[in-house]
Amino acid sequence: GAYNPQPIKRAVAALATQFEGNDQHDAQELIVFLLAALHEQLNCAAEALVPPVDAEALPDGRTATLAAAHWSRFCRSNASVVSRLFNGQLMSELRCEFCRHASRRFDP
């Protein structure tokens, strides 16, 4: 049979004002909101805020070493079934055309 989604919409709108009213929303926005809320409730990480990784302190600055350090930092403050199933790591690199110095960022 058919299901009336209004009770769910009202419950979500009570928690997140961006879902109030009758504006059209992307399904991805709703999923991101719901997963973030679930993660907050289920996060059993021992450390709430972990200091940033000091890239200069790492032995050789290799990409794999940096990626592992950043991922380890993220995992120490994000331990939920949501983060284990849905999080990943993205690396972006910016390289100077003149001196060839590379700057790498990891998200998260």
Distance CA 63, CA 98 (A): 21
Q: What is the pLDDT along the chain (108 residues), one digit of tens a residue?
A: 888 988 988 888 888 888 888 777 788 888 889 999 999 889 888 776 666 666 655 555 577 888 888 888 888 888 899 999 999 998 888 889 999 888 878 888
Half-sphere exposure of 4 (CA within 13 A, CB side): 3
Question: What's the CA gap between 46 and 76, in Å, rounded?
Answer: 7
Note the pLDDT of residue 82: 93
pLDDT at residue 98, as a whole number: 93
Pick left, alpha or beta for residue 69 (phi over 0 → left; psi -120 to 50 → alpha; otherwise beta).
Answer: alpha
Helix axes 6-15, 27-42, angle to 10 degrees: 60
Which pLDDT value is given to residue 59?
Answer: 54
User: What residues are paired with 104 via a beta bridge?
Assistant: 93
